[in-house]
Structure 1
């Protein structure tokens, strides 16, 4: 039954009314851009099929270890050896696609004076999310030790409006200051992640508008799904860093897990440098 359902689900001729709901197969939708945008199993399955010249669809099945836990890479390697199977990791697919494809391109450049010093401002356009992102470059990146890099997610309420619910505005200032003091580095401003606030899901009373939850005071920044998104959606940022000629970087961050995914895209984290925030807000976890 499941095989029949899967074949029907991936058939372009199938209409929603052809499938019973709820069913016994859980559909997942891959992000446009695949593993270069989100380093997940869903995107990897679709990418692998597409690269092989097949229909861009796949079936995901978790392999369980004898103790009942989900098998990780070391256990999966042994499983493949025992059963004569080939194995490809998400990181393998990322490296392959990074060698053959690009999803960001430079679109404009200008010099930007700030109170900390002058930066070369480079605008990038993404063919995946249709957004524009900015890299502020200070000094010559090609020489010397690994440069300082801050990967900053867009936060309207903090960056622009100066909300006291987060430290985003101060983080920007301290990052630019640290890069200028070091003489070289990159401040990467990613617009697509859209941190700051969210609209409450669910029904509201008649005539009432949905509530706005600020990420720092609500649960949006603490939800596992949100944490995974921050960790996994580093593909566009990594492509910009690679376009700038960077392979080894020192990351400005107080949240080590946030930068782990960059290493899957060919960026080596030489060091993690904490941000010195004068008076951290008690309600916010500095990223």
Structure 2
């Protein structure tokens, strides 16, 4: 596919236009978006007629807090990463709420800097999605990309976005998105390109120190990284010399109580990498990186682990959302470019934006 530059998308957004983003260069899903501040009834009608997916409103975490919006399903981010809140509507100035004029009005009330929680009601016909504060550098999602683009274009980080469906009502992908963009004279770009643009102009991770660490598996070098958005501290535990031209053994994870602290494996399910096994394997190979993310378990997440363990079930892999892009930024900083990823095979979207490539998945075997 041929993509337009991020600068081209920003120019279109500044003029009040729409743009298309996709999360993969070959077979990714696509969204049509524009700055929320510029969204009017005509724009909502175009989205409903031509893109045909669910029309959403991407908002920052701070914006959602100001409007009193909480996640529709608590802890849904831990499951699949999409931060839907309860649907909304403007308290005043609407009739049924479903018309394009009513939805455009509700969006304008929601993004008005003077609006607070009492200015909206729930439920409604506009569907906010809470974007993570680090944008695509923290999660390579459509809401994050939309809010990033709006901010980079000079607006507040709020965007109206809608998934693009094909004529059969399925998600449009790949060349179908290219055709859609050409048909309507819209620029199109991948989230990977946006990530790369932000790497060149911004950054959310700063290396803060380097230390030697002696473990039961030998000597490692530990690099600390400060998250400039959330103030958290992440660690890269490195063994050997990293050669960006050669594949590097990589594991990215946060600490989980049952898996890492207690070393539990669910009966009847495949064994998985944990902190101890990962360090041992990296030490045996002689070169590798384990990125330890400061992601704290909620009480609900721990209880869910206990429930699944007791039932002999394994939880679905959580690797992609945790890695893109905090872990990816860290890997790039320590010199990794090509990865032998210690994980079961999972989707890994927009990784090229960090100039990273997964050449092999390495599942745990006894």
Q: Please give the TM-score of this superposition, normalised by the length of structure 2.
A: 0.64
Kept in 1, the 8 Å contact 2:207–2:226? The answer is yes
1:251 to 341, 354, 363: 341
Distance 1:266 1:170, change over 3 A: closer
Kept in 2, the 8 Å contact 1:157–1:163? The answer is yes
Task: Could you tell me which runs of 5 or more consecutive residues in structure 2 were left unpaired when the two chains were aligned.
Answer: 1-101
Q: How many residues align?
A: 259
Aligned-residue offset at 1:84: 1.4
Partner of 1:19: 120
Partner of 2:358: 269
Pairing 1:184–2:287 present: yes
Pairing 1:90–2:191 present: yes
SS in structure 1 at match of 2:123:
coil
SS in structure 2 at match of 1:152:
strand
Moved more, 183-192 or 263-272: 263-272
Aligned-residue offset at 1:143: 6.9
Kept in 1, the 8 Å contact 2:245–2:338? The answer is no
Distance 2:242 2:223 in 1: 14
2:300 to 174, 199, 219: 199
Kept in 1, the 8 Å contact 2:249–2:339? The answer is yes
Distance 1:150 1:251 in 2: 6
Aligned-residue offset at 1:50: 0.7
Distance 1:38 1:124 in 2: 17
Kept in 1, the 8 Å contact 2:107–2:126? The answer is yes
Distance 1:140 1:220, change over 3 A: closer
Distance 2:164 2:194 in 1: 20
Pairing 1:76–2:170 present: no
Aligned-residue offset at 1:72: 1.8
Aligned-residue offset at 1:108: 2.6
Partner of 2:327: 237
Partner of 1:106: 207
Distance 2:188 2:326 in 1: 26
* Structure 2 counterparts to residues 130-209 of structure 1, below 5 A: 130-142=231-243, 145-165=246-266, 171-192=274-295, 194=296, 198-199=299-300
Distance 1:156 1:258 in 2: 25
Distance 2:234 2:272 in 1: 17
Runs of 4+ in 1 over 4 A off after TM superposition: 164-170, 258-261
Partner of 2:162: 61
2:305 to 192, 209, 214: 214
Give deviations 1:64-96, integer Å, cap 9, x for gaps.
Answer: 211111212321111111221111222221111
Partner of 2:16: none
Distance 1:20 1:220 in 2: 39
Distance 1:182 1:259 in 2: 24
Aligned-residue offset at 1:265: 2.8
Task: Could you tell me which runs of 5 or more consecutive residues in structure 1 were left unpaired when the two chains were aligned.
Answer: 201-210, 279-287
Partner of 2:136: 35
Kept in 1, the 8 Å contact 2:235–2:293? The answer is yes
SS in structure 1 at match of 2:177:
helix
Kept in 2, the 8 Å contact 1:159–1:169? The answer is no
Kept in 2, the 8 Å contact 1:39–1:233? The answer is no
